[in-house]
Amino acid sequence: MSGVSESHDSPPTHNSWLTVPNLVSGLRVLAVPYFWYVLLGQDRVGLAAALIFIIGSTDWIDGYLARRLNQISEFGKLLDPLADRLMIASALVAGLLAGVLPGVIGWPLLVREVLVGIGTLVLAGRGLGNLEVRWLGKAATFALYGAIPSFYLVSADIVPWLFGPPAWIAGGVGLLLYWYVGWQYIGDIWGKLRSVESPPGTSLATPKEG
């Protein structure tokens, strides 16, 4: 669930979309349909868990390459978080459909993803840009990329004594962080929408009576 705003020390942004980091992000996106096929088409839960882990573990690569190669682009700022959200949402929905993900973890995560996703689409539709990624959001995504495939492995009865406890610990922590940051994102979305709807120079604060 990834960043869009760059600090003053970051390399300059350019408009080219054909870059090495964008290629990595694109490969992550293309791997998502294969994940669906493996889990629901072939019922290979262990391989599906491995795909989630592999796709999630490459999350840092495209960002690192963008900074290292000075190839930060507007398209990449959109594609990188899209790859994250597609994989997380797919792992949640497919996991719930296949019965390999506990509902107490999966449904709250899915609701949060839908709410933030709708808000992001509203901002994009109004030309208000993307959301600024928070460090806690990255930490939550990291925890979930560990928890969700662990639940898959437990469901497949692959050393459940090893993957079970970390799955619940990381899942619980990731769920709390995901909703906490999600609430902050909703505040960001609301603030951007209010800034457009309010006339220039008008205070958004409610005047005090008396």
Alpha-carbon distance 42 to 157, whole Å?
17
Residue bearing tokens 């993957």: 163
In order of 2, 26, 105, 145, the CA distances from 49 in angstroms are: 22, 20, 16, 10
Instruction: Output the six-digit token pair for 79.
Output: 């594609």
Alpha-carbon distance 48 to 7, whole Å?
36
- Above 50 in pLDDT, residue 5? no
In order of 203, 204, 207, the CA distances from 210 in angstroms are: 18, 19, 10
- Quickly count: other Cβ atoms within 10 Å of residue 83's Cβ: 25
- Above 50 in pLDDT, residue 62? yes
Query: Higher confidence at residue 154 or residue 85?
Result: 154
Question: What is the pLDDT at residue 1?
Answer: 42
In order of 101, 116, 166, 205, the CA distances from 139 in angstroms are: 20, 17, 15, 33
Can you tell me the mean pLDDT for 97-124? Answer: 90
Residue bearing tokens 């349909």: 33
Write down the architecture of domain 20-196 according to CATH.
Up-down Bundle (1.20)
Q: pLDDT category, 161, cuts 50, 70, 90?
A: very high
Alpha-carbon distance 186 to 5, whole Å?
17
**Candidate ranges 57-66, 130-139, 165-174, 181-190; pick with highest mean pLDDT:** 165-174
Instruction: Output the six-digit token pair for 159.
Output: 């050393």
3-state helix, strand, coil in the chain (%, to 5): 70, 0, 25
Q: Nearest 5°: phi and psi at 28?
A: -65, -40
- Quickly count: other Cβ atoms within 10 Å of residue 178's Cβ: 24
pLDDT, the chain, mean = 81
Residues whose CB is less than 8 angstroms from the CB of residue 3 and which lie 6 or more positions away in sequence, other chains included: 63, 77, 81, 132, 133, 138
Largest Cα span, the chain: 69
Question: What is the pLDDT at residue 200?
Answer: 54
Instruction: Tell me the whole-structure pTM to 2 decimals.
Output: 0.75
DSSP for 49-92, please give it: HHHHHHHHHTHHHHHHHHHHTT--BHHHHHHHHHHHHHHHHHHH
